[in-house]
Every structure is written in structure tokens, then in C-alpha cells.
């Protein structure tokens, strides 16, 4: 028996029983292998260490009231890993291999899947790294694809309560023709200082603007930004943000609910006219934004201390689909069949 305080889980790492790995060598992927250790041994000249050949994904599995295990939009995450890896010239796992590795990792660690009532979930972290040695700047010839899982609670301690964020005026997370639209580790390294600066000033994370003009909103920490005005869900269109699968889902759910949707450039000057603001992503789900601070003019945009009505409706509907309480009308869910543990 494991003793985990499911209801108070942070968004952090807990060692589980197994991870799944697969190696790419001589131009092909090998078999899936089961590992108990959470350590990886690397060649000191591996490209992931020197030249940032590293991409990852983030997904969640949920235990339903019916005890079934559901994973959300696995194929979309598999495809995004392919796009990310391809952009930084890596060999990438085929969708079937990705999906099978995710399924097996969940099955092997079923005892770490939080119970339905806890509202927690099992975070799935697929990782792809260049492991072949090179000294010149060029792609590796060998890769490791690895999947691990860890039970998690909300990304922000507050859960579905508003967080305050600070506009980052002096740092960019990504350049317009750079890697912002793919999920490469370097983007997260580039975001650490801005996040720390926001936290030092008392805010949960940084809200990034477009790198060219500092006129438009990009994204918010490791999540997309959205706002609501006049029953319209508004979310930035930008070359330098990650195409969030959660945001895509919210756009479709908003349309289902008769809420208008605008995906377009969003000016900073519009912040004062929004009724609700929030961030969305696998880890963040929907995290409402209470206040946005702009250090350029010391302005604070205030959206209240509770989530607004549109954010709340979307949050509850998305969660209900993920936990199997509402029908999966968009075919986003894959059910994980149980299998005997080795």
C-alpha cells in the first residue's frame, strides 16, 4: 500500500514503480523496455547536454467514478512531440510507439493513479533526448524516448482560485522565428529568470509579450493566455507561443456552449476592457488570473478574487469530460485497459 495524501498533492515529482524507455539506433526504434530506476546514464558528449536536443510533452490520466482510467488527447501530444523533435532535427517516435509507451507506463504504475474524489491526476511526462555523442554542432544519431508518470495536484497551490501575474517587460521567452511554437527544453530555461523576477515581486508567474513590438500578449508562464469579454473567448494568435492542446479544447467547448471565439493578436491595451482573464494548459488546467501588473506604468488590471462565469463553465466542463462525468463528444479520451503487473 502506498500512503499518499491525494487531496494535498503538490505539482511535483514522486517516484513511481516503473518508466518505459525506447532507444533509436542505426536509423530505427528498438523495443519498449521497462525500467525501475529513475536514473539515466548519458555519454558526456550527448547532444541533449551540449546543444539542447531535448523535447518533452505533458499529459494527464484521470481515474473516473467508474474506476476507468482516461487519458486526454494522447494522439495530439504524440503529434506535437513529432513536430517539436523535427524542428530541432531529432528522430521522433511514431504515434503508435508514443501511445503504447504512455499506456504501458500508466498500467505499470496504476497504484499511483489518484482516486476520483481527490480531484488529483497522474501527470505523464514523455521525454525525447539526443544521446549520441557529437562535438560539432549537429544532430545526434542516437535518441532515447522515455515516459514517466507522477501523481500531481494543481500546478498553482491555489487550484481554481485566481493567481496574480506580472508582465515581463525586459525579457522574452521566445523569438518570432525561433522555437516558441515547439516544446523544447530551451524555452523553459529561457523563462526561468523572468518567472523568478515575477515571483520576487510577489506574482505567481510572468506574462510574456511579443518580442518585436511589446504590443501584443503572447503566453503566461508555461500556459496559454485567454480572456473573456462580451460572451467571447479571446486568445492570442502568435508565432512564438506553444499551440496548447488545452486551449484548443477550450475553444471547441466554448463554441459548443454558444460562446463566441476569437483567436487573434491581443493588444496589451485591451487588458482594461476584459471581464475575465486566465491561463490554460495541461498542468494549469484553467487557472483564473486575478490581477495583471504592468511594471512599465505600474498599472494593475483587476479581474476579481473569484473565477468569472465563463472560465468556471469551461473549467467544470473540461474536467467533467476528463474524469468521464460528461460525454466525450469530441473523441478526446482514450481508455487505458488494465493489465496484470509483472
Residues that bind ligand PLP (CB under 6 A): 58, 219, 222-224, 242, 244-247, 281-282
Taking CB under 6 A as the rule, does residue 168 contact ligand COI?
no
Taking CB under 6 A as the rule, does residue 186 contact ligand COI?
no
User: Residue ranges of the alpha helices (H) in the chain?
Assistant: 47-50, 74-87, 95-108, 185-189, 192-200, 245-256, 309-322
> For the chain, what is the largest distance between any 2 Cα atoms, rounded to a whole number of angstroms?
60
Taking CB under 6 A as the rule, does residue 290 contact ligand COI?
no
DSSP conformational letter for 93: -
Q: Is 183 a catalytic residue?
A: yes
Contact 48, 131 (CB under 8 A): yes
Binders of ligand COI among 214-233, rule CB under 6 A?
Answer: 222
Residue with cell 493588444: 267
CB of 265 to ligand COI, least distance (A): 23
For residue 172, what are the CA distances in angstroms to 54, 65, 115, 167, 188? 20, 43, 39, 11, 11
Q: Which does 154 bind (CB under 5 to 8 A by kind): ligand PLP, ligand COI, none?
A: none
Mind giving me the DSSP string for 227-278?
EEETTEEEEE--TTS---HHHHHHHHHHHHTT-EEEEE--BGGGGGG-SEEE
Give how many residues touch ligand COI by CB under 6 A.
5
Q: Please, which residue, 107 or 183, has the CB nearer to ligand COI?
A: 183
Position among 52, 58, 243, 304 found at the interface with ligand COI (CB under 6 A): 58
* Choices 38-46, 64-72, 280-288, 306-314; region in contact with ligand COI by CB under 6 A: 280-288
Contact 263, 251 (CB under 8 A): yes
Of the candidates 183, 255, 260, 291, the residue annotated as catalytic is: 183
* Choices 85-93, 196-204, 278-286, 294-302; region in contact with ligand COI by CB under 6 A: 278-286
Residue numbers annotated as active site: 183
Residues making contact with ligand COI (CB under 6 A): 58, 222, 281-283
Amino acid at each position: 500500500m502506498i500512503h499518499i495524501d491525494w487531496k494535498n498533492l503538490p505539482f511535483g515529482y514522486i517516484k513511481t514503480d516503473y518508466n518505459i524507455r525506447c532507444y533509436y539506433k542505426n536509423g530505427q526504434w528498438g523495443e519498449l523496455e521497462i525500467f525501475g530506476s529513475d536514473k539515466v546514464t548519458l555519454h558526456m558528449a550527448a547532444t541533449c547536454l551540449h546543444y539542447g536536443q531535448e523535447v518533452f510533452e505533458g499529459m494527464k490520466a484521470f481515474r473516473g467514478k467508474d474506476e476507468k482510467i482516461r487519458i486526454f488527447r494522447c494522439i495530439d501530444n504524440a503529434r506535437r512531440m513529432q513536430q517539436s523533435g523535427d524542428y530541432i532535427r531529432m528522430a521522433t517516435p511514431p504515434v503508435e510507439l508514443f501511445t503504447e509507451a504512455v499506456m504501458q507506463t500508466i498500467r505499470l504504475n496504476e497504484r499511483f493513479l489518484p482516486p476520483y474524489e481527490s480531484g488529483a491526476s497522474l501527470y505523464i511526462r514523455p521525454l525525447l533526448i539526443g544521446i549520441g555523442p557529437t562535438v560539432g554542432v549537429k544532430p545526434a544519431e542516437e535518441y532515447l524516448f522515455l515516459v514517466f508518470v507522477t501523481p500531481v495536484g494543481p500546478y498553482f497551490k491555489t487550484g481554481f482560485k485566481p493567481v496574480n501575474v506580472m508582465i515581463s517587460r525586459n525579457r522574452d521567452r521566445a523569438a518570432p522565428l525561433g522555437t516558441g511554437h515547439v516544446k523544447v527544453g530551451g524555452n523553459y530555461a529561457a523563462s526561468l529568470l523572468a518567472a523568478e523576477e515575477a515571483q520576487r515581486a510577489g506574482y505567481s508567474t510572468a506574462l510574456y509579450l511579443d518580442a518585436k513590438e511589446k504590443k501584443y500578449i503572447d503566453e503566461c508562464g508555461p500556459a496559454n493566455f485567454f480572456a473573456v469579454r462580451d460572451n467571447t473567448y479571446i486568445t492570442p494568435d502568435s508565432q512564438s507561443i506553444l499551440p496548447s492542446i488545452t486551449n484548443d479544447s477550450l475553444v471547441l467547448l466554448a463554441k459548443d456552449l454558444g460562446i463566441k471565439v476569437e483567436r487573434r493578436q491581443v493588444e496589451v491595451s485591451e487588458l482594461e476592457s476584459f471581464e475575465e482573464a486566465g491561463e490554460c494548459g495541461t498542468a494549469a488546467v484553467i487557472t483564473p488570473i486575478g490581477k495583471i501588473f504592468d511594471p512599465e506604468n505600474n498599472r494593475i488590471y483587476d479581474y476579481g478574487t473569484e473565477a468569472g462565469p465563463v472560465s468556471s463553465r469551461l473549467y467544470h466542463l473540461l474536467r467533467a469530460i476528463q474524469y468521464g462525468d460528461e460525454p466525450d463528444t469530441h473523441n478526446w479520451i482514450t481508455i487505458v485497459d488494465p493489465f496484470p503487473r509483472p
